[in-house]
Amino acid sequence: MLPIARSELAQILRNRAVLITSLLMPLAASAFFVRSRDSFAELYGLGYIAAVIVFTIGAFSLYATIVTTLAARRQTLFLKRLRSTAAADPTILSGLVLPVGVISVVQIVVVLGVFAAISDGPADVPVLVVAVVATFAMMLALGLATAGVTNSPEQAQVTTLPISLGTIGVASWVGISGTENATWLKRLLPGGSATELVVGAWNGGLAVADSLLLLVPTLAWVVVAVALAARFFRWEPRR
Question: Which pLDDT belongs to residue 130?
Answer: 94
Whose CA is closest to 198, among 139, 137, 133?
Answer: 133
Calculate the alpha carbon distances from 148 to 39, 68, 72, 113, 181 in Å.
41, 11, 12, 34, 35
Q: Assign 122 a pLDDT band (cuts: 50, 70, 90).
A: very high
- For residue 199, give every residue at least 6 positions away whose Cβ sits within 8 Å of its Cβ, in sequence order, or none: 45, 47, 48, 50, 51, 174, 175
pLDDT surpasses 80 at 61: yes
Question: Which pLDDT belongs to residue 133?
Answer: 96
Question: Which pLDDT belongs to residue 159?
Answer: 94
What does the pLDDT look like over 128-186, one tens digit per residue?
A: 999 999 999 999 999 999 999 998 888 998 999 999 999 999 999 999 998 888 899 99
pLDDT surpasses 80 at 239: no
Q: Is the overall model pTM greater than 0.75, yes or no?
A: yes
Q: Assign 24 a pLDDT band (cuts: 50, 70, 90).
A: confident
Contact 120, 114 (CB under 8 A): no
pLDDT surpasses 80 at 94: yes
Enumerate the domain spans of the chain.
2-232
- For residue 27, give every residue at least 6 positions away whose Cβ sits within 8 Å of its Cβ, in sequence order, or none: 57, 61, 107, 111
Question: Which pLDDT belongs to residue 84?
Answer: 87
